[in-house]
């Protein structure tokens, strides 16, 4: 992947190209950005820039054979680590090498894709992937070998915030003092989930969400009319992966919308209504049947909707980007029920539910408890 193939982010491209050209390449770098901002494509382009001796910023030419190997993700000095889990393909001790064929497919088809897209591709969407100690041992083994082509060796760790403590501690010394010409590129969405000792050893680059115009222009190149492209770009809120899903009508948010509307409607009816409380319990049971990653992603979506409703309630609708496509539900009519007297409590309950689901709590109990609390909070009056 070349720098000119990446949407926007010209300041980051220039920084990476110029520092490389000047020979100032930090041995450990951390790319932090929200989903769909281009952290993974940028890391791939930067790794290719280092390995192939490409020059002149965006006008990358360099070694043609090297570029071909990098484009097919088969360069012997480009290594990868990413979250995996045991599944139908790998029964135990799963590591990234077991999924390289799927990884190449993922990069080719969804370079801006998110973690859930990856889990779905490798068939572990009902599990919680991680970068564990088996992976860390594999990374150490790969990087103790000499560079195949005599130049840089690059280890790209995608979703490094999914590294568990054992893996982090095992890689700490290697990240601090890697072999000569070994470069670590860590990619994360939640920087604070990485242990401090690793963060302190990396040069951090923060990626902003993509501008609406950049997303809209990219969607127009894919055949959308200007008005439709602008509408989707606004709704995507800087996330190109979400924009593509909305364009293809393949966004999980469309499913989440239905779950959210059903949840909220049952919560409104539940005050003093035993039948509606029963509906909430049934709803919780249905959501609990899905995978934990789906549950966490749905609750994060709910948190985003609540924040959007608060913006609308406080007469700053121009900052709200979300749309609810479910017939008969309008965010503007729901907004007055989210206010200064309940928004903090709602956010705390949703974040607490995500925390406990991530730690393998009983999903049915967590979601039922959350539903009952939501009923009480939504009926709380504004000041």
Contact call for residues 35 and 240 (beta carbons, < 8 A): no
Which two three-digit tokens encode residue 165? 């403590």
Which two three-digit tokens encode residue 17? 């190209």
Name the helix (H) or strand (E) containing 21: helix 10-21
Percentage helix, strand, coil for the chain under 3-state DSSP, each rounded to 5: 55, 10, 35
Residues paired with residue 79 on neighbouring β-strands, in sequence order: 155
In angstroms, the CA 215 to CA 228 distance is 12
7: buried, middle or exposed (CB in 10 Å: 19+, 13-18, 0-12)? middle
How far is the first Cα of the chain from the last one, in angstroms, to the nearest whole number? 54
Q: Tens of pLDDT along the chain (383 residues)?
A: 888 899 989 999 999 999 998 888 999 999 999 999 999 999 999 999 999 876 544 434 558 888 889 889 999 999 999 999 888 888 888 899 999 999 999 999 999 999 888 998 998 877 888 999 999 999 999 998 888 877 889 999 999 999 999 999 999 999 988 888 899 999 999 999 999 999 999 999 999 999 999 999 999 998 888 888 998 898 888 899 999 988 887 777 778 889 999 898 888 887 767 777 888 888 999 899 888 888 998 999 999 999 999 999 988 877 778 788 788 888 889 999 999 999 999 999 999 999 999 888 999 999 999 998 988 898 888 76
324: which residues sit within 8 A by CB, 6+ positions away? 257, 260, 261, 305, 330, 331
In angstroms, the CA 48 to CA 35 distance is 22
Contact call for residues 54 and 47 (beta carbons, < 8 A): no
């Amino acid at each position: 992947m070349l720098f000119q193939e990446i949407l926007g982010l010209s300041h980051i491209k220039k920084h990476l190209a110029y520092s490389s050209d000047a020979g100032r390449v930090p041995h450990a770098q951390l790319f932090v950005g929200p989903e769909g901002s281009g952290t993974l494509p940028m890391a791939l382009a930067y790794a290719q820039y280092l390995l192939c001796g490409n020059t002149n910023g965006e006008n990358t030419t360099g070694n043609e054979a090297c570029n071909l190997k990098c484009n097919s993700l088969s360069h012997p000095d480009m290594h990868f680590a990413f979250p995996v889990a045991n599944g139908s393909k790998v029964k135990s001790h799963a590591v990234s090498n077991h999924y390289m064929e799927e990884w190449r497919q993922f990069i080719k088809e969804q370079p801006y894709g998110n973690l859930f897209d990856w889990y779905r591709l490798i068939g572990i969407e009902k599990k919680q992937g991680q970068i564990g100690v088996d992976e860390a041992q594999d990374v150490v083994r790969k990087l103790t070998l000499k560079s195949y082509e005599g130049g840089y060796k690059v280890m790209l760790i995608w979703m490094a915030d999914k590294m568990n403590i054992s893996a982090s501690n095992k890689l700490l010394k290697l990240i601090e003092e890697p072999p000569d010409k070994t470069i670590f590129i860590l990619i994360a969405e939640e920087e604070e989930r990485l242990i401090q000792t690793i963060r302190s050893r990396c040069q951090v680059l923060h990626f902003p969400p993509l501008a609406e115009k950049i997303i809209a222009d990219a969607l127009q190149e894919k055949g959308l009319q200007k008005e439709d492209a602008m509408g989707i770009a606004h709704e995507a809120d800087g996330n190109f992966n979400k924009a593509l899903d909305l364009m293809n009508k393949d966004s999980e948010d469309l499913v989440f919308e239905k779950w959210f509307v059903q949840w909220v409607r049952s919560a409104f009816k539940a005050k003093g209504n035993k039948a509606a409380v029963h509906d909430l319990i049934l709803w919780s049971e249905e959501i609990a049947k899905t995978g934990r990653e789906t549950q966490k992603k749905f609750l994060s979506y709910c948190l985003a909707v609540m924040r959007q409703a608060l913006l609308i309630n406080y007469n700053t609708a121009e900052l709200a980007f979300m749309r609810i496509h479910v017939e008969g539900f309008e965010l503007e009519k729901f907004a007055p029920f989210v206010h200064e007297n309940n928004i903090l409590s709602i956010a705390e309950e949703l974040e607490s539910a995500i925390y406990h689901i991530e730690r393998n709590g009983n999903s049915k109990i967590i979601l039922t408890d959350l539903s009952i609390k939501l009923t009480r909070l939504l009926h709380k009056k504004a000041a």
